[in-house]
Structure 1
Amino acid sequence: MATAKRSTVTDALVKDHRELEAHYNEVVNSTDPDHQERYGNQFTWELARHSVAEELIIYPAFEQYLGSKGHDIAEKDRKEHHEVKEQLKKFQGLKVKDPAYIPTLKSLWANLKQHIKEEEEEDIPQLEKVLSTEHQHTGVSESLATKFGRTKAFVPSRSHPSAGEHPPFETVMGLLTAPIDHIADIFRKFPDKTVSPNPSTK
């Protein structure tokens, strides 16, 4: 009996990136405030968790497996993440009827889209190349993908730029703020057709 193929780091990150793009499009292509609010919350929820999980799992892997070049990649990505998280914090604080709601999201997405492009075309392929040539029998890529997915269950679901982008401080801050975010999510509107944003389900 064949076993199911486990997800690689690339699979896990690209899946998240496409979901973020889909949620973004739902907001900007709609004129229904209720729809925009639900998908705006979903976008925030996905991006906040994705960003922190990358910083705790993926960026240290760059440094571990790509040496000094990986350190440079990780620091560049952390800097870009901080800018996006500052924009996300501004966006998540806006009401859907605020005139700045859509422009703020579009500005955020412009930066995030470029960051995603660099990750998918440059950063992640470099990591995967090393893992496939030097660690092909140890399943490191699959293991990182699993850790990445599990980590998203425990991190904040809103943007907290002041926590920084480096573990362990970010980890401690995340453990303190995540439960508050998760409880507050109960009272936010989310898309009806998606799984209720319970972090343990994603």
Structure 2
Amino acid sequence: MLRQSLRPARLRVLTARSVPAPIACAKLWRPYSDEAKTAIQPGSISEVIHQDHRQIEKYYDKIVNSSDHDVQRRYQNAFVWELARHAIAEELVVYPSIETGLNDGREMADKDRAEHQVAKEQLYTFQNLEPGDRHFIPTLEALMKDLKMHIKEEEEHDLVKLEAALVPSRSRKLAEQFEMTKAFTPTRSHPGAPNKPPFETAVGLLTAPLDKIRDIFRSWPEEYSARPPSGGPSR
């Protein structure tokens, strides 16, 4: 199913006031215990983040398992597009919720942001390399080695604790905000940009249109039913 572009009128969801939505009511949270084990529920924030992770891993596999430079270029663009948007959406929607909802949330969120910064710097290098460059695959492999460790800890620790603290309706709302936010984020890595709202929001809104214009002239995998500026890849 194609990702649908959002109407400009809904841009208000990314204002400093509402991204991420403030946690103002205790009923949005439930007591957390270390023994709590929360299964991934349909429509939850964990589900959409897991889906993004699998998509990123898929694009990585496509690149490293191909010797065709055109194929590698197309999936390079897809990989960068997916990871850049995913990282910023987590920083705007998920990490502030971790900070406000968990006892050790600030420490967890700061650690995740630091790991994101490393990934953004690696991604910036990778997105500017040509598939025929001798550094192309080694740079991607180094990026993915660190990213896989981040993904594992996020899926097995951070998201488990967050879901255990959230009521299901709040988790679904975060998932909606997460997907909506990705529609307005930059589609390339900009490691010098802020990584916290409201400044990350403001810079993203200025940078994203330029990235999206350039996306029109980039090559994409044939499996895409539409280029990202027209709604994104079909999963």
Tell me, yes or no, whether TM beats 0.5.
yes
Q: Which letter does structure 1 place at the counterpart of 2:127?
A: Q
- 1:186 corresponds to which letter in structure 2? I
% identical aligned pairs: 49
Aligned to 2:149: 114
Report runs of 4+ in structure 1 exceeding 3 Å deviation: 199-202
One of 158, 180, 193 as aligned partner of 1:163: 193
Q: Which residue of 2 aligns with 1:93?
A: 128
Q: 1:128 aligns with which of 157, 163, 168?
A: 163
The 10-residue stretch of structure 1 (187-196 or 12-21) with the greater mean CA deviation from structure 2: 187-196
Note if 1:141 corresponds to 2:177. Answer: no
Question: Are the counterparts in 2 of residues 154 and 199 from structure 1 also a CA contact under 8 Å?
Answer: no
Among 136, 153, 156, the residue aligned to 2:183: 153
Instruction: Supply the distance in 1 between the matched residues of 2:212 and 2:151 (Cα, whole angstroms).
Output: 26
TM value normalised by structure 1: 0.92
Unaligned regions of 5+ residues in structure 2, if any?
1-40
Stretches of structure 1 lacking an aligned partner (at least 5 in a row): none
Give the CA deviation at 1:178: 0.2
Secondary structure of the residue that 1:142 maps to in structure 2?
helix
What residue is the counterpart of 1:18 in the other structure?
54
Write the distance in 2 (CA, Å) between the matches of 1:194 and 1:11: 22
Paired position in structure 1 for 2:209 = 179
- Per the TM alignment, residue 64 of structure 1 is displaced from its structure 2 partner at its CA by 1.5
How far apart are residue 194 of structure 1 and its match? 1.8
Q: CA deviation at 1:97?
A: 1.1
Number of the residue aligned with 1:73: 108
Q: Which amino acid aligns with 1:56?
A: L
With normalisation by structure 2, the TM-score equals 0.79
Report the 3-state secondary structure (helix = DSSP H, G, I; strand = E; otherwise coil) of the residue aligned with 1:176. helix
1:47 is the counterpart of 2:83? yes
Q: Deviations over 1:2-43 (max 9, x none)?
A: xxx851011000000000000000000000000000001100
Q: How many residues align structurally?
A: 192
Q: Tell me, in whole angstroms, the C-alpha distance in 2 between the residues paired with 1:143 and 1:78.
A: 22
Displacement of 1:47: 0.2
Q: Distance in 1 between matches of 2:230 and 2:109?
A: 25
* 2:171 partner SS: helix
Are 1:198 and 2:234 an aligned pair?
no
Kept in 1, the 8 Å contact 2:224–2:232? The answer is no
Equivalence for 1:34: 70
Contact 1:82 1:164 in 2 (8 A): no
